Structure 1
Amino acid sequence: MMKKYLSKLILLLIAVMLPLVLTSTLEQHILFLIVIWSIAGIGWNFIGGYAGQVSIGHALFFAIGIYTPSALFHLFHVVPWVSMVIGVILSVICANLIGIPLLRLRGPQFSIATMAVVECMRTILINTKVLGGSAGIDFLNKKVNPYLYMQFTNKREYYWVALAFLVAAIAIASHVDKSKFGYNLRCIAGNEMAAESVGINTSKYKSLAFMLSAVFVSVAGSLYAQYLLYIDPYISSTMSVSLMIVLVVVMGGVGTVYGSIIGATVLVMISQYTRIYFGGTGTGIDLILYGGLVIIVVLFLPHGVMPLLERCVKWIAALFFKKKAPVTEEAEVSEAEKKGAVN
């Protein structure tokens, strides 16, 4: 147990020190995006990974998380630390309200319904002038306290703040993974009718998982808004955002605690570097390569990258740290009997 916690502490220290080693703007930008999509992926994993309800509409909660601190700062000059909490509350209320009808659906019907909700949200944001409409909101203010209003001049600060939220998300996800709540969600994902037959209130547990996932995705959206300091409906509430959240979990490993981090690392690096090296051609080669690489990984790693990494770690540990068991007297006698039987 001590080795387990020590290894996690070492990984955390490495994560904290990364922006001090990777000093370029691009590298720190990639680090921040990895953390943001990891938080969103951990949130989606509660409903999509554990409960087995594939939602393609989590851009709704991402948009609420983005717009709440942005609009409150733009209209009333509310600090983002407070407005972020308000965004979480609004996301939970929204998840509860839309979850009542949507979670009655199963399979593809549920996924399609969540897609429709995102499109409705995008249309509302485009036509709401108070929230900037299609032009969006620019809420940069250089005169405010950077730490109070989360408007830093260096990307490292954004990364460290987001990393703190990621650590909290991992701690909560680890607790849920081993709790009765997590086991009940897995039972629902396996067979919902069987779960109901053993006394699990499937509607209640699916609703709780939906609301819990909305919390993390909303936080990720709020942090992303503070990083950009500009928002519009095309950044926050499009199908590409929802698909990115889903792909992060699928790529890393559905139903795992750390799979979202692995998936976010793979996807963000592929998307950013293909855009950098091939995006300037103007022919969409970066998008073709990005989509092709994602398809290849999903086809050849159907359970995600995380199980493969776990097997590699176990193989390396067995190769370098496996000790030969001490030979007892009983084992020596047994070995001698075997040799005698052969002779």
Structure 2
Amino acid sequence: MSFSFFKVSRPKTPQEVVKSIKESLMALDTKTVVEVKALEKALEEVEKNFVTMRTMLSGDGESEPNLDQVSQLVEEICKEEVLTLVIHKLPILGWEARKDLVHCWSILLKQKVDSNDCCVEYIEQHFELLDILVVYYDNKEIALSSGIMLRECIKFPNLAKYILESASFALFFKFVELPNFDVSSDAFSTFKDLLIKHGNVVAEFLTANYDEFFDQYESLLTSPNYVTRRQSIKLLSDFLLESPNAQIMKRYILEVRYLKVMMTLLTDSSKNIQLSAFHIFKIFVANPNKPRDVKIILGKNQGKLLGLLHNLSPGKGSEDEQFEEEKEFIIKEIERISV
């Protein structure tokens, strides 16, 4: 009687895993893929390798990841420039492979190798990868994957700072109004993170780019799209009232053009938009050093503004009392204005 034994395959080392990932990604190069079948095989190989990487990084459900192996894997990924490859090949990858990549991405960025943020440092040396991820919002097939990867990057101040200061940042003003609702909503989530995650970085950016930024932001506040207006006015009150932006806010409330925008939003058919606009409008009015042209606009529209404010209420909630106090104060301030 003869017995046959199945050879138990030895688990791959981190170095072997990275080598396989790199080779399978490079096999996706359209110059080398002549046939559809060859491309399908290459995509399957990438998918299989990403599953191996995911298991090595986050365990298999039964056993925890081996931290030494994780460190070796991360180090090897940076050394072999795999992060560049995965970003460049993202549009070709299948849905499962993208899902595994997105899962691994957040883990990779958090890993330290010898006390260094290996993957974050790699991206700092290849900032153009962030520009590519931003531009991917124009491709609805991969926009949501790219968005998750971007928001993971934005958690790190240096990476957020780069995006804010890059030419690609201006694209967000277009992406948040894309016709595909899922994509535009995701782009707005990333835009929001860029403006609220790191107060000092944002304050520095707004100080250096004040006119250009608020010019573009005004187009969102006056957008014909209700969702854009609602999200934009809420976000503006979120970041403008942050303490690092105190000087920016002082500058903003001196400008008649922005006061007019807030007054228009106070007349919006949406109660939510009216309330968010009120939180910024009240700062224009409460400013003890109002410029003359701000006083003139408030004086000319005194009757209309008082009518709007008397009818404005937040609905039921814990903030009612504070809101009513603020509203009464603003009403009295407007009544006192004489031009």
TM-score by length of 1: 0.22
Identify the structure with the greater helix proportion: 1
For the pair shown, the structure with the greater C-alpha radius of gyration is 2
Structure with higher RCO (Cα < 8 A, 6+ apart): 1
TM (norm. structure 2) is 0.23
